[in-house]
Amino acid sequence: MKMKIAVLPGDGIGPEIIAEGVKVLEAVAERFGHEVTFNEALVGAAAIDAVGNPYPDETHELCMNSDAVLFGAVGHPRFDKDPNAKVRPEQGLLAMRKQLGLYANLRPVETFDQLIDKSPLRPELIQGVDFMCVRELTGGLYFGRPQGRSEDGNTAYDTCVYSREEIERVVRVAYEYAMKRRKKLTVVDKANILATSRLWREVAQEIAPEFPEVKTEFLFVDNAAMRMIQWPKDFDVLVTENMFGDILTDEGSVLTGSMGLLPSASIGLHTSVFEPIHGSWPEAAGKQIANPLATILSVAMLFEYAFKLTDEGTCIRQAVKKSLDAGVCTPDLLGSDGKKFKTRDVGDWIVSQIKN
Ligand SMILES: NC(=O)c1ccc[n+]([C@@H]2O[C@H](COP(=O)([O-])OP(=O)(O)OC[C@H]3O[C@@H](n4cnc5c(N)ncnc54)[C@H](O)[C@@H]3O)[C@@H](O)[C@H]2O)c1
């Protein structure tokens, strides 16, 4: 198969982890006889520095004309420390999501047996955790307008907006995944307080009868956050709005043992984007200590979701499991006694497994 992949490394650890993702993608393509073309483009702070725009038109054009996008992370302390910065790296991420119509972000949370002791939770609580969080990605507080400050600068406001159509399409995606999995859907909202959440609940209740085999439950987000720690194995598929999903999946990463382990796929109207859920971890940039597994597992999702190539995805997952079995890990996954591998060493080791 011919594949055109847009590569957007971004900022901080982005270039280091993406280099490993690209290596793995190339190795799998070679093994399974696919022809891949990579085209790199600017995003985030790197794009602001180069052309003054965190999501330049050329980057968008490249994404639109590619079969899939492999994305690293954006964000730089220079902007995080300046609340008055007019242009910010994260605006590039939001613009990409909006312009590509990426309304559903699929975030699988699975624990690895080899890493059970890395989680702060007791092993019996997390062994076998396997759920999928479907996060709405182009609406809610992150996009609602008006947003800003009063003239005197002493009051700030954000607006949370959701339309019936925006909720319906992402809830349907979640039901479809629930049908393919253990047929349970948890709709997470704050319907006791928020008008948008009440619309979410109403729409989900309307759609539920179309999927009679799926058991639907509704949870307030505060309760969901608690349940994720208390009984994480109870979840199968969760669906929720943008900000709740952002926060809950970071919590989910703690179950697995590291932020460096969770991949994601953003799907919608145009080209899909595959990216780790973590950020640009600027303190680690250039040190080769970032875990590349979230990115490498995002490449597995890229094969499975963008090209429907499941054997290729399985090949990557098996190589990742072998690396964990062999203790070929970055420092986040090792105790003080283990040998620490660099980001590129982990990538090289996984590539060698794929080639064998
Ligand atoms: N999708 C994105 O591009 C995205 C997402 C979140 C945050 N950000 C941006 O990233 C910057 C840093 O934000 P932050 O510190 O809140 O989040 P972060 O995810 O970058 O880092 C938080 C912590 O997670 C751990 N971590 C992250 N990536 C890891 C990896 N690959 N391997 C091992 N451990 C890892 C580290 O302990 C780190 O201190 C900010 O500018 C923020 O806006 C970008």
Three-class SS of residue 336? coil
The alpha carbon of 104 is separated from its chain's Cα centroid by a whole number of angstroms, namely 10
How much helix, strand and coil, in percent to the nearest 5, is found in the chain? Answer: 50, 20, 30
Is 175 designated active site?
Answer: no
Which two structure tokens, joined as six digits, stand for 48?
């602001």
Q: Domain spanning 1-111+259-356: which CATH class is it, in words?
A: alpha beta
Closest CA to 341 of 322, 319, 326: 326
- Given 67, 130, 250, 348, which residue is catalytic? 250
Is 190 designated active site?
Answer: yes
Amino acid at 252: G
Q: What residue's CA is closest to ligand 1, atom 25?
A: 259
Q: What residue's CA is closest to ligand 1, atom 34?
A: 260
Q: Per-domain residue ranges for the chain?
A: 1-111+259-356, 120-256
Alpha-carbon span 120 to 287, nearest angstrom: 26
Give the predicted TM-score (pTM) of the model: 0.95
Alpha-carbon span 44 to 90, nearest angstrom: 6
Per-residue pLDDT of the chain (356 residues; tens, 9 = 90+): 999 999 999 999 999 999 999 999 999 999 999 999 999 999 999 999 999 999 999 999 999 999 999 999 999 999 999 988 889 999 999 999 999 999 999 999 999 998 898 889 999 999 999 999 999 999 999 999 999 999 999 999 999 999 999 999 999 999 999 999 999 999 999 999 999 999 999 999 999 999 999 999 999 999 999 999 999 999 999 999 999 999 998 899 889 988 999 999 999 999 999 999 999 999 999 999 999 999 999 999 999 999 999 999 999 999 999 999 999 999 999 866 678 899 999 999 999 999 98
CATH superfamily membership of 120-256? Isopropylmalate Dehydrogenase (3.40.718.10)
**Mutate which of 69, 250, 259, 333 for ligand 1 pocket (most atoms within 8 A of beta carbon):** 259
| Fold match, 1-111+259-356 / 120-256 | yes
Is 246 designated active site?
Answer: yes
Q: Which residue has the tokens 């901080």?
A: 12
Side-chain-side CA neighbours of residue 22 (13 Å) = 19
